Amino acid sequence: MAGKSEPIATGHVQAHARSGQIQLALMAVLLAALLIAPMLLYPIFLMKLLAFALFASAFNLLLGYTGLLSFGHAAFFGGASYFTAHAVKEWGWSPEMGILLGVLGAAGLGLVIGAIAIRRQGIYFAMITLALSQMFFFACVQMPFTHGEDGIQSVPRGMLFGVIDLGRTMTMYYFVLAVFMLGLFIIWRFVNSPFGMILKAIRENEQRAISLGYSVARYKLGAFVMSAALAGLAGAIKALIFQFATLTDVTWQMSGEVILMTLLGGIGTLLGPIVGAGLVVTLQNYLATSDIPVTIITGVVFMACVLLFRRGLIGELAASRLGRTLGMRSES
Amino acid sequence: MTMIFGIPVQALMGQLLVGLINGSFYALLSLGLAVIFGLLRVINFAHGAQYMLGAFAALLLLTVGGVNYWLALILAPVIVGLFAAVVERTMLSRLYKLDHLYGLLFTFGLALAVEGTFRYFFGASGKPYAAPAQLTGAVNLGFMFLPVYRGWVVVASLAVCIAVWLLIEKTKLGAYLRAATENPVLVQSFGVNVPVLLTLTYALGAGLAAFAGVLAAPIYQVSPLMGSNLIIIVFAVVVVGGMGSILGAIVTGYMLGVIEGLTKVFYPEASNIVIFVIMAIVLILRPAGLFGKDA
């Protein structure tokens, strides 16, 4: 339809002076909860949750703060997972070097896919990222190092920096938590940097950003590569958590899942993707034992989100009276 | 045996035919996507699910109602079209005033829910659907044997593509449709009921997908996930062709199908990705697509 259309709704939380403090306080509570959580809950489940929360946050960096909907983030997540698993298992690399390779590999993939995809906007951008990630999926099916349907199995976790044994579940948990917090800090710094501000300007009005003299394509590509690298970080630690890398992580369904997590939690909020990832992973955990296919629930939640609460849980909370009393402000 | 570029003619022709058949489906599906996108500005991610629904409708009509293939070829698209019209009226129409990405996300959710439901009731394995007796067997073309049903698929899809093109370019309804694509507000002020036009268009697009599904049922087996991987290839086809023209969508569909078939002969390893590679090249050289007008 012609005419002006409402842009992607984002809970714009940073606009308020006190909102930063509120968010930091919430983050502190979250961190405290995560520090004691493995005493109460199954650590592997928590680590999975953290990996997906980081993945969704990385995705949100692109959709929430730059307004680019990528339908191909599974390529970076699953790709990095393969790179790390291969380096650690076949080449005997240490876990930190393996993760570094995964992140760099994902960034490289992001550079190639991003450079092609940013040539079109909006819907086309989504379709192109989807198609290119599907191409990467087919490449993964055929390349020998991924071992096709079997995946890369029994990946050793190894010794972190040569001294810390990640084979112990609790040690691994706190390592994953540290990586997660680091990733989140990078995202927070990135979003609030001058670079991040320009990205927001592009999201709000691309034509205007161009007329102000910004090289929009470069900024978009920068954001895309950054998002891909962080998604890669999430994929790399996932390979070490579960000690295998599979085709599942590069499928387009995975790209859809990360969109759902972000949409459900709240696009463009710092906490939203974490909450969304938590809900989706928990839901999958419970549904895994029932006969109802997860996709029915996922699909219905997707439709409900789009039709009823586009700002997501955190975005709606920020817009509600409670959110306003807490000092969050929502502009959408 | 005759050889061309070191490849037996029969193998070459065989893959060319496979390519032409795949191309028929790409053309039908990308045509439906282009028609829907033209007016609604929605990328219909549920297109693959509607294709699957068409095949299942034919299968269920046969097993439950005893309805034969020829009637199913008409009934299945009508049923799926009605279903699509209900979805458009009750849900999709609320999203038009929002960012177009919401339409994509909504139809993505719809596709997941529909495919999940069918997997729950019918299982993931494929079910055979026999071709009608009139279309079994093969004819000898001299250089190869052509299975009659496969020839029929190419002819039928070509006929439907041309019919839709004529409907949009040559009839009064098509003129309304094209006018509403250009400027819906103005067309509405002339007394044309644009919301109904939108519903009809979505139903038409979904019906085309269902028609492709019925055509596909005897060739590929009927399974809940038959459309989910196809739809991504069709997206690539649409990006290559550009959304600008109906004819572009049709031509690109056949062309890429044939190229994919030929790749299977000359370099089989690349046959899965050749369409995506072509998409990347086209985007680098001509970002608007081969037939696209918008930049």
In whole angstroms, what is the distance from residue B128 CA to residue B123 CA? 13
Of B57, B51, B49, B50, whose CA–CA distance to B74 is shortest? Answer: B57
The answer to whether residue B186 neighbours chain A at the CB level (below 8 Å) is: no
Q: Find the closest chain A residue to B103 by CA distance.
A: A306
Q: Find the closest chain B residue to A301 by CA distance.
A: B109
Contact: A307, B112; criterion CB under 8 Å: no
**Residue A67: other Cβ atoms inside 10 A:** 25
Residue contacts between A and B (CB atoms, under 8 Å): 142
Query: Which structural domains are found in chain A, ordered by start?
Result: 13-25+41-325 (1.10.3470)
In whole angstroms, what is the distance from residue A294 CA to residue A288 CA? 7
The answer to whether residue B240 neighbours chain A at the CB level (below 8 Å) is: no
Q: How far is B28 from chain A (nearest CA, A)?
A: 18
Question: Across the interface, which of B105, B273, B283 has its CB nearest the CB of A302?
Answer: B105
Residue B224 with chain A: CB contacts under 8 Å? none
Q: Find the closest chain A residue to B289 by CA distance.
A: A120
Residues of chain B with pLDDT under 50: 295
In whole angstroms, what is the distance from residue A205 CA to residue B106 CA? 24
Q: Is residue B292 part of a domain?
A: no
The answer to whether residue B238 neighbours chain A at the CB level (below 8 Å) is: yes
pLDDT value, residue A326:
60
Interface of B with A in 103-132 (CB under 8 A): 104-106, 108-117, 119-120
Contact: A293, B109; criterion CB under 8 Å: no
Phi, psi of B251 (to 5 degrees): -60, -45
Domain of residue B243: give its range: 3-285
Q: Is residue B291 part of a domain?
A: no
- Which of B33, B108, B197 is most worth mutating to test chain A (most A CB atoms within 10 A of its CB)? B108
Strands B145-147 and B138-140, by their bridges, are antiparallel
| 3-state DSSP of chain B | CCEECCEEHHHHHHHHHHHHHHHHHHHHHHHHHHHHHHHHCCCCCCHHHHHHHHHHHHHHHHHHHCCCHHHHHHHHHHHHHHHHHHHHHHCHHHHCCECHHHHHHHHHHHHHHHHHHHHHHHCCCCECCCCCHHHCCEEECCCCEEEHHHHHHHHHHHHHHHHHHHHHHHCHHHHHHHHHHHCHHHHHHCCCCHHHHHHHHHHHHHHHHHHHHHHHCCCCCECCCCCCCHHHHHHHHHHHHCCCCHHHHHHHHHHHHHHHHHHHHHCHHHCCCHHHHHHHHHHHHCCCCCCCCCC
Of A46, A231, A78, A235, whose CA–CA distance to A151 is shortest? Answer: A78
Residue B276 with chain A: CB contacts under 8 Å? 131-132, 134-135, 138
- Which of B87, B223, B260, B283 is most worth mutating to test chain A (most A CB atoms within 10 A of its CB)? B283
Q: Is residue B293 part of a domain?
A: no
The answer to whether residue B257 neighbours chain A at the CB level (below 8 Å) is: no
Residue A131 with chain B: CB contacts under 8 Å? 232, 235-236, 239, 276, 279
pLDDT value, residue A11:
47
pTM: 0.86
Instruction: For residue B169, give both structure tokens.
Output: 């370019």
Buried b (16+ CB within 10 A) or exposed e, A16-44: beebeebbeeebeebeeebeebbeeeebe
The answer to whether residue B185 neighbours chain A at the CB level (below 8 Å) is: yes
Q: Is residue B294 part of a domain?
A: no
- Which of B276, B279, B284 is most worth mutating to test chain A (most A CB atoms within 10 A of its CB)? B276
Of B241, B200, B250, B207, whose CA–CA distance to A127 is shortest? Answer: B241
The answer to whether residue B43 neighbours chain A at the CB level (below 8 Å) is: yes
Residue A252 with chain B: CB contacts under 8 Å? 232
pLDDT value, residue A332:
38
Instruction: For residue B165, give both structure tokens.
Output: 């093109």
In whole angstroms, what is the distance from residue B116 CA to residue A229 CA? 32
Q: Is residue B295 part of a domain?
A: no
Q: Total structural domains in chain B?
A: 1
Residue B91 with chain A: CB contacts under 8 Å? 303, 307
Contact: A116, B283; criterion CB under 8 Å: yes
- Each residue's pLDDT expressed in tens, for chain A with a length of 332 residues: 333 445 555 544 444 455 667 777 877 888 888 888 777 778 888 889 999 999 999 999 998 888 888 989 999 999 999 999 988 888 888 888 889 999 999 999 999 999 988 888 877 888 889 888 888 998 888 888 777 777 787 778 777 777 777 777 888 888 899 999 999 999 988 888 888 889 888 888 888 988 988 888 899 999 999 999 999 999 999 998 888 888 888 888 889 889 989 988 888 888 889 989 999 888 888 887 777 778 888 888 888 888 888 888 888 787 776 666 665 544 43
First to last CA, chain B: 49
Of A42, A78, A27, A84, whose CA–CA distance to A258 is shortest? Answer: A78
Q: Is residue B290 part of a domain?
A: no
CATH at residue B235: 1.10.3470
Q: How far is B172 from chain A (nearest CA, A)?
A: 21
ipTM over 0.85: no
Q: Is residue B174 part of a domain?
A: yes
Residue A132 with chain B: CB contacts under 8 Å? 276, 279-280
pLDDT value, residue B242:
76
- Which of A59, A123, A206 is most worth mutating to test chain B (most B CB atoms within 10 A of its CB)? A123
In whole angstroms, what is the distance from residue A269 CA to residue A315 CA? 7
Contact: B235, A130; criterion CB under 8 Å: yes
pLDDT tens per residue across span A49-73:
999 999 999 999 998 888 888 989 9
Interface of B with A in 163-182 (CB under 8 A): 182
Residue B96 with chain A: CB contacts under 8 Å? 1
Q: How far is B182 from chain A (nearest CA, A)?
A: 8
Interhelix angle for A252-265 vs A122-142, to 10°? 140
Q: Is residue B98 part of a domain?
A: yes
Contact: A296, B116; criterion CB under 8 Å: yes
pLDDT value, residue B110:
93
